[in-house]
Structure 1
Amino acid sequence: MKRQSDKYIITKEMDWEELGGGVSRKMLGFDNQIMMVLVKFEEGAVGSPHSHFHTQATYCASGKFEFEIDGVKQEVSAGDGVYIEPNLVHSALCLEAGTLIDTFSPVREDFLDGSGVSYFGKK
């Protein structure tokens, strides 16, 4: 398994990895310590409630989403950010089609081996 990304990631040269349920992604960069992922959501797509030991910071690049973190809901739209502490249950509902930039520390091994896609779907 590759342990770090290329130095330059040119997204227009990449295919979207289809995760199902109206969600797809492109890996923007990673090594053992950090991972950045571009995630595209169709309206109504859901990131079902889940938790992980990684710290997560998310930037809403476009669209509108309803996040729920540790039982607290908040709408976010383009330009907003979300911080998720390790092990907190969180989810997202896409209210208007858009993209998120997710950053994780450490790297999401489950994304690299393909097992970290089971929490996406359509409402």
Structure 2
Amino acid sequence: MTYSTPAFSPAADLRWEETSPGVRRTLVAYNDDLLLVKVAFEAGAVGALHQHVHSQISYVEYGEFEVTVGDDMRVLRTGDSFYAAPNVPHGVVARQAGALLDSFSPLRQDFLPAALPPA
């Protein structure tokens, strides 16, 4: 199957979903090889420690986060980024309200709405 968003994705058309208390996400754009997701956090919200088979690069759009990747923890702020290799545990705690832009390769099909048809 082939999945893809249209060439342009106006912000007004994005749909947000709550994933856990104080955390919500929207799929910005994707195809079979790449997915870009925006994740918004309220202060104190947690992106629980987890791992997956996808490569992940995350950019701190704004805010301040305690980020754990593997055995290392760092405080990241606006403009900082991190890389989580496949199958490496990682998670965040929002020290203040903020947002991350998460990119995944390949596409995380588990993030797609169940009723979404392929392109």
Q: What is the TM-score of this pair, normalised by structure 2?
A: 0.89
CA distance in 1, matches of 2:112, 2:103: 14
* Unaligned segments of structure 2, at least 5 residues: 115-119
The aligned counterpart of 1:59 is 59
Show the counterpart of 1:97.
Answer: 97
Q: Match for residue 120 of structure 1?
A: none
Amino acid of the residue matched to residue 42 of structure 2?
A: E
The 3 A distance-change label for structure 1 pair 62 and 12 is: same
User: How far apart, in 1, do the equivalents of 2:13 and 2:104 lie?
Assistant: 23
1:84 is matched with: 84
- Give the distance between the partners of 1:66 and 1:40, measured in 2 at CA: 15
Contact 2:14–2:28 (8 Å) recurs in 1: no
Q: What CA RMSD, in Å, does the superposition of the two structures yield over aligned residues?
A: 1.5
For the residue of structure 2 that corresponds to 1:18, the secondary structure is strand
Aligned-residue offset at 1:102: 0.2
The residue number in structure 2 matching 1:117 is: none
Structure 1 length-normalised TM: 0.87
CA deviations on 1:28-65 (whole Å, 9 max, x unpaired) are 11111000001100011111111001000000000000
Structure 2 equivalent of residue 107 of structure 1: 107
The reply on whether 1:23 has 2:37 as its aligned counterpart is: no
Cα distance change on mapping 1:10 and 1:107 into 2, 3 Å: same
Distance 1:41 1:15 in 2: 16
Amino acid at match of 2:110: D
The runs of 4+ residues in structure 1 deviating greater than 4 Å are: none
Q: Which moved more, 1:3-12 or 1:45-54?
A: 3-12
CA distance in 1, matches of 2:16, 2:89: 26
What number of residue pairs does the alignment pair up?
114
